Structure 1
Amino acid sequence: MNRKGIMVGIDKKSKNTLYLPSSMKREGLLSAAFGTKVVKCRVSFTQSLEKSALLSEDLFEELMIPHKSRADLLIHEQTVHIGPLIGIYTAGFTSSPLRPLKDRSLFFSKLLSLHEKASGYCFVFGAHQVNWEEGTIQALLYKENGWVRAAVPLPNVVYDRLPSRKTEEVPLLQQTKQRLMNDYQIPWFNPQFFNKWDIHKLLDKNSLTASLLPQSILHPNAETINTLCGLYETVYIKPADGALGAGIYQLTKTDSGFTVKHTNDEKAFSSTHYSDAASFIKAFEENHDPAAFLIQQGIKLIRVRGRPVDFRVHTNKNADGKWTVTAIAAKISGKNSITTHLSNGGEVKTLGELYSDPKERVGIIRNLSKAALTVSRVLNEHIEGFIGEIGFDLGIDHDGKVWMFEANSRPGRSIFSHPKLRSVDYLTKRRNFEYASYLSERSITAPDKLWR
């Protein structure tokens, strides 16, 4: 039995008692749970409660519930589970009471504030906040008056928001994650950043997704540059673990060699001519390890005002664990830029701004959604762990064919700076909490099916 959105409060007159609405009456209930904390107690039913539950003050404190809130009540076997208790895992904490996560404090405060409108409890934590001996976490919560810290039990589910690949590789962060997953069987979703080459290999083997991929080869050298430039007008060299458009080179074959364009660390555009591929590779190797890069076919994308356009498509799992498309936006390349990234001067447009013809717009949405959902399901089937969201960079060529350039397990949110995309920004975040609730419930009621 599951009741959504029950207000959880405190009764100061009783001891070790949980009061539930009479509509939830069930014999044999012996305990209450919050996160991984389970306490034996008396369970009583009363007609005076319809949309709320009350816990005696001592039980409220023993379960380590941080504050009164709206929550879901799930009855399974002989236990009433109050929650879900969702932990957001990250790094980069400070001692500042106003900016405990530096520049990301605002992002996390908005995320936790959004969840306050739903059911359950949500907090931010890192590896140093876990007390293994007591099985608790010194949680960082956000309330109306600002950030507060409180001890809570280990959560029902964890949403991974580690900020970078480098941070993800820190041994302590990895050890903490593995211990919570393996020793406590806590579902952990979005557990890792995607590697471009690993994703390409996986999708290239699948008949449903292979046709979406530009031709790509790992470890570019003079031979592969000559081969691909002989087949395509333009090729790109990209870091396999890159992000935000950094480290990308565009190579175009000319009568006298190659024109190479790229954006440097200062986001300044530069263009260099090389007489042959060997000369470029020699210069490239002075700053990079080619084994960490891939070379990819360039696609003749549709254009707006003469500039290439691609699309960011977000997919999220919903409250039933099913993939849905939650956001689509167009990204127009910046002047002289070789990518559409906003950090390189790109701009975001809604599809309504780009396509005034509703029929054409619906067709674009249908084609992009079909591709994104297909890839989401294939990745979900073949990648270990729980994936809750993916951000895709998709392109459409002059023939109307859809291409997939990248899949990001922790997609950036720069497109949501557009005023008309704020509603879908909210939807993508809400879906993450819906999926967290789904994982929490399944881990309680059907753990064997969840972990198979």
Structure 2
Amino acid sequence: MGTIYLTDRQAGTIGIEAGEEVLLRAGVRSCLATVRIVPTKPRTPLLPELLNHLRWPINLPCQLAYSRREQAFVAGPLLGIFSYRYPNKPYVWSAHLKETQRYAREMGVVAVVFGPTDINWEDRTVTGVILRGDEWQQQTLPLPRVIYNRIPSRKFENLPEVSDLKKRLADIPGLILFNPRYLDKWETHQLLQKHVAVRPLLPETRLLQKAEDLWPLVKEHRVIYIKPIHGTQGLGIYRIGLHPSGGYSWISRHSTATLGLAYTRTAIEAKIKRLLERTAYVAQQGLRLALIEGAPFDIRLLAQKDGQGVWRITKVFGRIAPPGKFTSNLSQGGRAMGILNSLKAASLPPKRKRQAILKELQRWGESLPRILEESAAMTLGELGLDLALDRGGKLWLLEINAKPFKRLDEGEGDPRLVRLALERPIAYGRFLDGFDNKGGDDSP
């Protein structure tokens, strides 16, 4: 057992007396300590022997907070960033991780990056890396109680070692892994469809259990899109529609958006059967999207929780499809444009006022993440919402992404928002670890 040093004022604010035995936690490790009252605020409230017991390196900064929710002192703040790297290679998204580390350091948060083989389960520690200067330095710390899932792709997230680690983390009482997995398009649609207020925002969507399932949608909407339920970055999307010469059109995201050949119903079904042999697909109502410079565009809205766990909109911008294409993903050649300029340039009816659209985006950007999080029973910290306006000015939700890619350049607008997009998950992790001056937590 060690000692926690507090001033009389600090102890009085928390409601603790000298000699009282208290619980002290760092990450998921904990121990008992005794409170000692001192006349002046100590340089450090925890001595090296107590930090050593918690497996907290003495060369790293350590703050102390009191969490009324836990009825315990917390040493930290500590945030785990779960990522992936091949042996002897840098972490994937290394540039993003380095920027995140720099901001964490400025915010007083110790953020340790680790992979699926870096945990000592018996000792409840993790040996990961922390940025010191501009170089990664290996460091052993207590296994964080709060972990930000930054596994960068579905390919990595489906690896057995990643799946096994997440299962073991789920068995640790009190541990929080936020943004625990990628979202399934069909699951997401079903969850949102249960909410009456959200239904008008959703294009008609069906699970393609067999190729023939798409024809009622084609008959009703004339154009539909089929999308892999686990797809990202616009990959694997096809557009199917009625061809003016008879038959049907089939256009991939690689094709220029011209009608091209006419296919028979049998040929379309054969193509879809081959796709369904590889993965599951949904069919979605085609929309006549508003245009910018003759190209369809959609709207990416990044919603994140702040340092009090409240959903906020970090940034909103338009994404314009490359010439002749129907997908606007920036990774596939799309072009970003500020939201105000996007709405000014869009082919919208005069009666559709920009301020009204901005208010709708604000409302949905704050409510949809909350609705999805509650419906899916997951702890989420950030979401990428892809919305679009049709040529009549009606707003639609195309899909929601649980692992939004955040660019480090200023192409999406204000560079302060680029920084904020990386800071907010850190602030949210700090809040979850018990370092919050509201809601009953106190910092000695």
Class of the TM-score when normalised by the shorter of the 2 chains? 0.7 to 0.9
Residue 400 of structure 1 aligns to a residue in which SS? coil
Q: How does 1:156-235 map to 2 (within 5 A)?
A: 156-219=145-208, 223-235=212-224
What are structure 1's unaligned runs of at least 5 residues? 1-14, 447-452
Aligned mates of 2:149, 2:96 — CA distance in 1: 14
Aligned mates of 2:133, 2:408 — CA distance in 1: 27
Q: Quick one: structure 1 residues 154 and 378, their matched pair in 2 at CA, closer, same or farther if it must change by over 3 Å?
A: same
The alpha carbon displacement at 1:320 in A equals 2.6
Aligned mates of 1:87, 1:167 — CA distance in 2: 18
The alpha carbon displacement at 1:427 in A equals 1.9
Choose from 61, 69, 82 the match for 2:61. 69
Aligned mates of 1:290, 1:89 — CA distance in 2: 29
The alpha carbon displacement at 1:78 in A equals 7.2
The alpha carbon displacement at 1:345 in A equals 2.0
Cα deviation per residue 1:125-150 (whole Å; 9 max; x = unaligned)? 12211111212111211121411111
Q: Quick one: structure 1 residues 308 and 270, their matched pair in 2 at CA, closer, same or farther if it must change by over 3 Å?
A: closer
The alpha carbon displacement at 1:416 in A equals 5.8
Cα deviation per residue 1:146-182 (whole Å; 9 max; x = unaligned)? 1111111111211111122232223332222222222
Choose from 85, 97, 102 the match for 1:92. 85
Q: Is the 8 A contact 2:23 2:72 kept in 1?
A: yes
The alpha carbon displacement at 1:395 in A equals 0.6
Choose from 334, 354, 372 the match for 1:379. 372
338-347 or 424-433, larger mean C-alpha shift: 424-433
- Who is 1:320 aligned against? 308
Cα deviation per residue 1:280-323 (whole Å; 9 max; x = unaligned)? 22134345538611111111111111111110011112233222
TM-score w.r.t. the length of structure 2 is 0.86
Cα deviation per residue 1:99-136 (whole Å; 9 max; x = unaligned)? x31x4221111111111111332111122111112121
Residue 313 of structure 1 aligns to a residue in which SS? strand
Q: Is the 8 A contact 2:6 2:45 kept in 1?
A: yes
Residue 433 of structure 2 aligns to a residue in which SS? helix
- Who is 2:9 aligned against? 23
The alpha carbon displacement at 1:441 in A equals 2.4
Q: Is the 8 A contact 1:235 1:296 kept in 2?
A: yes
Choose from 84, 93, 110 the match for 2:99. 110
Letter in 1 for 2:421: T
Q: Quick one: structure 1 residues 22 and 362, their matched pair in 2 at CA, closer, same or farther if it must change by over 3 Å?
A: farther
Q: Quick one: structure 1 residues 378 and 288, their matched pair in 2 at CA, closer, same or farther if it must change by over 3 Å?
A: same
The alpha carbon displacement at 1:360 in A equals 4.5
222-231 or 306-315, larger mean C-alpha shift: 222-231
> Is 1:258 aligned with 2:244?
no
Aligned mates of 2:386, 2:72 — CA distance in 1: 45
Aligned mates of 2:198, 2:187 — CA distance in 1: 14
Letter in 2 for 1:352: L
Letter in 2 for 1:117: E
Q: Quick one: structure 1 residues 22 and 95, their matched pair in 2 at CA, closer, same or farther if it must change by over 3 Å?
A: farther
Letter in 1 for 2:243: T
313-322 or 196-205, larger mean C-alpha shift: 313-322
The alpha carbon displacement at 1:378 in A equals 1.6
Aligned mates of 2:387, 2:400 — CA distance in 1: 9
Q: Quick one: structure 1 residues 70 and 308, their matched pair in 2 at CA, closer, same or farther if it must change by over 3 Å?
A: farther
The alpha carbon displacement at 1:187 in A equals 1.2
Q: Quick one: structure 1 residues 183 and 226, their matched pair in 2 at CA, closer, same or farther if it must change by over 3 Å?
A: closer
Q: Is the 8 A contact 1:380 1:387 kept in 2?
A: yes
The alpha carbon displacement at 1:426 in A equals 2.1
- Who is 2:28 aligned against? 36
189-198 or 19-28, larger mean C-alpha shift: 19-28
Query: Sequence identity, in percent?
Result: 26
Q: How does 1:425-436 map to 2 (within 5 A)?
A: 425-436=418-429
- Who is 1:367 aligned against? 360
- Who is 1:11 aligned against? none
Q: Quick one: structure 1 residues 125 and 111, their matched pair in 2 at CA, closer, same or farther if it must change by over 3 Å?
A: same
RMSD: 3.0
Letter in 2 for 1:200: H
Q: Quick one: structure 1 residues 156 and 183, their matched pair in 2 at CA, closer, same or farther if it must change by over 3 Å?
A: closer
Q: Is the 8 A contact 2:7 2:40 kept in 1?
A: yes
- Who is 1:123 aligned against? 112
Choose from 393, 411, 435 the match for 2:404. 411
Letter in 2 for 1:53: T
What are structure 2's unaligned runs of at least 5 residues? 346-351, 440-444
The alpha carbon displacement at 1:415 in A equals 8.7
Aligned mates of 1:419, 1:263 — CA distance in 2: 23
Q: Is the 8 A contact 1:222 1:277 kept in 2?
A: no
Q: How does 1:297-446 map to 2 (within 5 A)?
A: 297-355=285-343, 360-414=353-407, 417-418=410-411, 420-441=413-434
Residue 274 of structure 1 aligns to a residue in which SS? coil
71-80 or 418-427, larger mean C-alpha shift: 71-80
> Is 1:53 aligned with 2:38?
no
- Who is 1:12 aligned against? none
Q: Is the 8 A contact 1:313 1:327 kept in 2?
A: yes
TM-score w.r.t. the length of structure 1 is 0.84
Aligned mates of 2:134, 2:231 — CA distance in 1: 38
Q: Is the 8 A contact 1:35 1:154 kept in 2?
A: yes
Aligned mates of 1:253, 1:54 — CA distance in 2: 72
Q: Quick one: structure 1 residues 22 and 420, their matched pair in 2 at CA, closer, same or farther if it must change by over 3 Å?
A: farther
Counting matched residue pairs gives 423
Aligned mates of 1:290, 1:252 — CA distance in 2: 23
The alpha carbon displacement at 1:382 in A equals 1.2
Q: Quick one: structure 1 residues 22 and 353, their matched pair in 2 at CA, closer, same or farther if it must change by over 3 Å?
A: farther
Aligned mates of 1:414, 1:268 — CA distance in 2: 26
Residue 127 of structure 1 aligns to a residue in which SS? coil
Aligned mates of 1:331, 1:442 — CA distance in 2: 37
